[in-house]
Amino acid sequence: MSKLNFGLAICSGLVFGAVLSAQVVIAKQSLPDGFVDARKVIPRLAVDLRYLTEDNFMGQPVDGYVEPRCILTQEAAGALKGVQAELAEFDMGLKVFDAYRPQQAVNHFVRWAKDPDAEGRKQQYYPQVEKRNLFREGYIATKSGHSRGSTIDLTIVSFPKDGAPIELDMGTRFDFFGPESWTDHRDLTTQQRANRLLLRAVMEKHGFRPYAKEWWHFTLNNEPYPNQYFNFPVQ
């Protein structure tokens, strides 16, 4: 092979590799019609996807979570943008723990719940609830509203002049399974009750409804896919 042909072959390979890499990136970033990356449309949205890490009730990364992207339906993201804008007037904002959740992640929850040897992080997340009762008490289900794309788990943060956003004290951590996390729980400090009330009030104002057993859990009232459960990965 001549030096010219060899050089052309190398260039062609580089170009092909670059095109292939670009195609992989595009495929990775693409979302189904009707879904968006919420951080691209909501300014200063903090995202801490716990199921991407070991810091969750199972103590392990969950199937279907590949990248820290807050994926929502366009309608849910639009409503959440209104919440963020209202909180921004008081130097506060939202921090998301989970948004769209693929069905494969829900299936992972179910497998874990049925495994008697997998205790996970019981003391941190469900110290007073027997694992065998997590289904019966409504903390785990075989179908989740998250998989419809318009349900979100979140809290409020304040934005100090210096440093990272600070979570408001809600009385329990995210995904704490027990009465302490119920929306009508009264054994809280005045400030904790006020913080929960603020979160609920601003979310309801912008079209979300709460879930009685989880102060962090909200679903868009007029969700676009009320009967459809999706399974594309979070990436």
Respond yes or no: is residue 119 known to be catalytic.
no
The full length of the chain comes to 235
Q: Cβ of 74: how many Cβ atoms within 10 Å?
A: 16
Q: How far apart are CA 226 and CA 220, in angstroms?
A: 10
Q: How far apart are CA 150 and CA 99, in angstroms?
A: 8
Q: Which two tokens stand for residue 87?
A: 């909180």
Q: How far apart are CA 62 and CA 30, in angstroms?
A: 21
- Active-site position among 54, 86, 167, 214: 214
Output phi, psi for 86, to 5 deg: -70, -40
Please compute Rg for the chain using Cα positions: 21
Q: What distance, in Å, lies between the first and last C-alpha atoms of the chain? A: 43
DSSP 8-state class, residue 219: E
Q: b vs e for 12-43, b when ≥16 Cβ sit within 10 Å of the residue's Cβ?
A: eeeeeeeeeeeeeeeeeeebeeebbbbbeebe
Catalytic residue annotation: 214
